[in-house]
Homo-oligomer: A and B are copies of this chain.
Amino acid sequence: MDSNHDLKITLIGTGTIGLSFAVFHLTHLKSPSQLTIYDTRPDLEKYIQDTLLSFYSSSSPPIPAISEINIAQSLKSAVEGAHIIQESGPENLPFKTALWKEVEQHATKDALLWSSTSGIPASQQSREMQDTSRLLVVHPYNPPNIMPLLELVPSPDTRAELIERTQEFWRARGRVPVHIKKEVTGFVANRLAFALLREAIHLVDAGVVTVAEVDDIVQNSMGPRWAVAGPFKSYHAGGGAGGLEGFFKNIGGTVQGCWDDAGRANVGEEWEQRIFREAEQSYGSVDTTERDMITRRVLEAVKLEKQTSKDD
C-alpha cells in the first residue's frame, strides 16, 4: 500500500463526512477507480453522482471522473482487497459493532480500519471483533476535504504499527494527524472548542454581549491568532523572555479571576431558546460554500508564509 498507484480505499457511509472524505481521497488518488463507496441507501449511484459534485464547489482542484468510482453492492465486495476501510456511518454503537464484526471477516489482514466517529471510542466499537487490535478512530474536523486536522484515537488494544501507518498516510498528504493518547469523552478538539462555547453561552445569557458580538470578537482576535500559533505558543510568546511562566506571573491573577467567575451553562437549560433564536435571527442560513472557500485561502496563507519563512 506504499504506492499510491495501487492504493485501494473503501468508504462506508455517504453522509456529509463520508462524501467530504470522498472528495479528499479523489483529489489525492491517481484514479477515481481506486475508490470504492458503500452504503445501504437506495439509488446510491445516482445519489453520489448528484451530491458529490456539490462538495466540489468549494474545492479548487479539478473534478475527477466520478463515474469511475466503484459503487459496491455488498459490504463484502466493498471491503475485499481494500487497503483502507473508513467508516462514516450513523453515530450508533450497535450499527458500528455489527459493521466491524462483518468487515473483519472480509478485509485483508493488514488493512487499516478507521472510524470517523466524533464520540464512540474504538474500544466500544471493536467489542464484537475477534481481533480488537485492528481498529482506531480517525476523527476529522468538519469538513475533512478542507480542514487539516485528524484526531487519531486508538483503543488501548490498537497496535502501534497501525497508528504509525495511519499517521504516515495523512502526513504524506499534507494533513495534520494528532495521536490522542487516551479515549477521553469527545476527544480533544471538541472539548477545547466546547469549553470556549460554554463561556460564550454564559456571557450572552448574562447580557454582556450578543451572539453576533461573540463571533465578531473571536473572528478578530483569537481566531486569526490561533490559525497561526495555538494557545500555548501564543501565551508562551506573550510572556516574553519568561515564556509561559512569565505570562502566568504577569497576569495569572486575571486568568484565575476569569476561571473563578466562569459560567456553568448546561444543555437543556433556559438559555437555549433565547440563544437559538438569536443565532437564527443573526445568521439565518449560513453559506458554507463561501465559508469553506475563505477557510481554504486562510490555510493557504498560513502554509505559504510558514514555508517562505523556513526558506529564508
Contact of A227 with B227 at beta-carbon distance under 8 Å, contacts A181-B207, A258-B185 already known: yes
- Per the bound structure, the CA–CA distance linking A189 and B304 in Å amounts to 28
Tell me if A228 and B298 are in contact (CB < 8 A). Answer: yes
A interface SS class = helix
Q: Does the CB pair A231–B200 fall under 8 Å?
A: yes
A229 contacts chain B at the CB level, 8 A cutoff: yes
Contacts of A257 in B (CB 8 A): 119, 185-186
Closest to A120 in B: B254
Residue from A196, A206, A253, A260 with most neighbouring chain B CB atoms (10 Å) = A196
- The 6 residue pairs across chains A and B that have the minimum distance between CB atoms: A215-B230, A223-B226, A237-B286, A141-B221, A195-B199, A223-B227
Task: Please tell me if the beta carbons of A225 and B295 are within 8 angstroms of each other in the complex.
Answer: yes
Chain B residue numbers with a CB within 8 Å of A293 are 305, 309
Q: Is A147 in contact with chain B by the CB < 8 A criterion?
A: yes
Interface of chain A residues 234 through 256 with chain B (CB within 8 A): 235-238, 241, 243-245, 248, 251-256
**Nearest B residue to A230 by beta-carbon distance?**
B215
- A62-70, A154-162, A268-276 - interface stretch: A268-276
Taking the closest CB of chain B, its distance from the CB of A63, in whole angstroms, is: 21
Minimal Cβ-Cβ distance residue in B for A175: B220
A248 closest partner in B (C-beta)? B267
Q: Can you list 5 residue pairs at the A/B interface with Cβ under 8 Å?
A: A118-B254, A184-B203, A219-B228, A224-B299, A293-B305
Tell whether A231 pairs with B196 under 8 Å between CB atoms, given A178-B216, A181-B207, A245-B272: yes
A110 located at the interface, meaning its Cβ lies under 8 Å from any Cβ of chain B in the complex: no
Residues from chain B with a CB closer than 8 A to the CB of A186 are 254-255, 257-258, 261
Known: A294-B301, A299-B224. A286 touches B206 (CB 8 A): no
| CB-nearest residue of chain B to A199 | B195
- Chain B residues with Cβ below 8 Å from A290 are 305, 309
Establish whether residues A182 and B206, one from each chain, have CB atoms under 8 Å apart when the complex forms.
Answer: yes
